Amino acid sequence: MSIETVLGPIQPNKLGKTLTHEHIRMDYRCCFFKPPMEHHQPKTQENFIKLENLGFVRQYPYSHKFNLSFGDETLSDMIEEVKIFKEMGGDSMVEVTTEGIDPDYEFLREVSKATGVNIVCSTGYYLGHSLTEQIKNTPLDELVMNMVQDLTVGRNGIKAGVIGEVGCQYPMADVERKSLMAAGKAQAQMKCPLIIHPGRAEEAPYEIIDVLREAGADISKTVMSHLDRTLNSKESCLKFAAYSDCYLEFDLFGIEVSHYQANEDIDFPSDCERIQRIKALIDGGYLDRVVIAHDIHTRHRLVKYGGHGYAHILESVIPKMLSRGISQESIDQILIENPKRWLTWSNE
């Protein structure tokens, strides 16, 4: 039993402090949103992020094409970004870029070599509108085979260590339901970790769990991502935790803008609200199922552009958690023990 990284398998006790949902190399231009006001239109084409437009980019991150071109960042710059996480005591990241947003296993391998951070890369398929027509028309069994290939043989010798993030909207597009079913079947075959990007509605995680159960997936080996923008209260988090034995991920730490472009019905939570929901889950008996991350996927969240970077949880969130009555032992469970249990499997 081991954990598969871009540099090969490691023993579980080498994983350490782990962010379970990050991006280091991806292209998010498929999720461009038209800005809400006509006078904002020229800003969408700006080929830079500076102090003069940082306020706009933070408020409307998906209306700035340069901001979404995350994959244009150089290898040397991304090495420097990940090094900050390492210097703050971080050990590992799960990089969840899947087909549709341009995964790059070799880029991740170079970052891992240069920084000493363990990186687990992924296989699977993102949101339906990001996928090519060829993928949309691929039979379910072939999607399963493609994921198993990435897990067992890899790409240029680099094996995926997790399936996902598997992209789902609400309601799911046909190709997303097929992709999700295929991911569940591949996971059932390989007994490996699985991670899901749910649609932006409180009903979405329930629908996804039901499809995965139909596929024969191991729900206890599955992470439901983005709960901080999907389940909008302590009560809804506790309700979902009781419904399913999946891991409960709060992975948007560092985003403090309440306006949410992708669904204006959602009031985006602050880091303090995320911590309150996590504490409610701990008090409710679900400590062993909570994992956390930042889901950095736009340029403005990198330190290079005035953002919080990959070390934000270690540097700023953990002190706040401690001050709000979450013990160091509980934090270690969330950052070390839960990821280790989720990511450990037998890839033979």
Residue 43 belongs to a domain: no
The pLDDT score that the predictor gives to residue 288 is 98
**Residue 295 DSSP class:** -
pLDDT in tens, 186-199: 999 999 999 999 99
Residue 160 belongs to a domain: yes
Contact in structure between 194 and 183 (CB atoms under 8 Å): yes
- Measure the N-to-C terminal CA separation of the chain; round to a whole number of Å: 9
Residue 34 belongs to a domain: no
Average pLDDT over residues 131-151: 98
Residue 44 belongs to a domain: no
Average pLDDT over residues 72-101: 98
Number of structural domains found in the chain: 1
Asked if pLDDT for residue 180 goes beyond 80, the answer is yes
Residue 105 belongs to a domain: yes
The pLDDT score that the predictor gives to residue 48 is 97
Asked if pLDDT for residue 36 goes beyond 90, the answer is no
Average pLDDT over residues 304-308: 98
pLDDT in tens, 285-300: 999 999 999 999 999 9
Q: Where are the alpha helices (DSSP H) in the chain?
A: 51-59, 65-68, 75-87, 105-115, 133-136, 140-152, 174-190, 204-215, 234-243, 271-283, 312, 318-323, 328-332, 338-343
Residue 45 belongs to a domain: no
Percent of the chain with pLDDT over 90: 97
Mean pLDDT for all residues in the chain: 97
Range(s) of the domain holding residue 329: 3-28+69-343
Asked if pLDDT for residue 348 goes beyond 80, the answer is no
**Residue 214 DSSP class:** H
Residue 287 belongs to a domain: yes
The pLDDT score that the predictor gives to residue 347 is 79
Axis crossing angle, helix 174-190 with helix 140-152, rounded to the nearest 10: 40
**Maximal CA-CA distance, the chain:** 57
Element (H, E) at 32: none
The pLDDT score that the predictor gives to residue 203 is 98
pLDDT in tens, 213-268: 999 999 999 999 999 999 999 999 999 999 999 999 999 999 999 999 999 899 99
Residue 333: CB partners within 8 Å, gap ≥ 6? 287, 288, 290
Supply the CATH number for residue 289's domain.
3.20.20.140
* 3-state secondary structure (DSSP) of residue 263: coil
